[in-house]
A and B are shown apart, each in its own frame.
Chain A
Amino acid sequence: MSRDFFLFLAVFVASLVEGVEAVTIVLAAGLTRGWRSALAGAAVASVALVATVAVLGPALTALPIDVLRLVVGALLLIFGLQWLRKAILRAGGFVAVHDEEAIFAAELAAARAVGREPRGIDGYGFTVSFKGVLLEGLEVAFIVVTFGSNQGNIPLAVLAACAAALLVIFAGVAVRAPLNRVPENTLKFAVGVMLTAYGPFWGAEGAGADWPGGDAAILVLIALTLITSFALVAATRRRYARLPAAATTPVPMT
């Protein structure tokens, strides 16, 4: 029950974050280049993502369970640590917080600067939308496949991703503007914590270690990751405050 809950939560929140970023790009493409091209690009990218999960999911579950846990644990931990690292640097001020308004404005300006095709599908609008959805969605597909295969419940992971995607799409259609009120960094922080807790749990099991307390160890790992991350955010903020003014412009990062 708790494993399924964490699986659903991790995939849902990760999909929410990436979905917000994808919707910003599709909105910009749709408003400037026409909805037909933008929606076609998004639809083709979605099919490619579904195909990725459909191919990689069964391939991973065919591995022996210890090999699967070792490989998936390592990948999830590397991925989770990168998410957490970015979130901590953003929270500390060293990296600019993701600004959907600014990204939306930049996408609009770029799309308007390119000449339009006279009729049919607009190549620029299609490509921008396709790339946006595919690139943002790949991270979700990666989490769906790794998390889902290790829990033996890829359908639940897919359900969580679809639920988040629908929520973001409805919100995007409703406001017809970038979803800049979604606390993206906080959500990325939460996903990073979950991946960073589950990665070592499965990786160590796959390497032959036994966790004291069995599955309950995952809760201790989540608590340890949270405490470490909060301590690092506090230390990072202190360090940022001590920097000379010239060096305190946060660097944008995707």
Chain B
Amino acid sequence: MSTAAITWGVLATALLCYLIKLVGLALPTQVLEHPYVIRLGALLPVSLLAALVAVQTFAMGESLTLDARAAGVAVAVLALILRAPFLLVVVLATATAALLRAAT
């Protein structure tokens, strides 16, 4: 896609994210304090992030494939279990994928 399209996307993202933050501060509490909204607010990030992990690991265009990314993510899982910090997890996953590609 074009750089211009991405720029519009960046600006739209920024605007929406800001408005969402403002809404919490500005609206009367009754509106947002509904139990369903609060529950959704806790569950939605988990759902979206999990989907992003899966899609970014296995999807290639409109098909699914198993490649070096999966190995990188597997190493990331290990690193997280061992309580590695964010940057280390990302670096290890990257290095794993790179090494695997270099070796094959």
Is chain B found bound to chain A in the same assembly? no
Mark A residues whose CB is within 8 Å of B.
none
Q: Which residues of B contact A (CB under 8 A)?
A: none
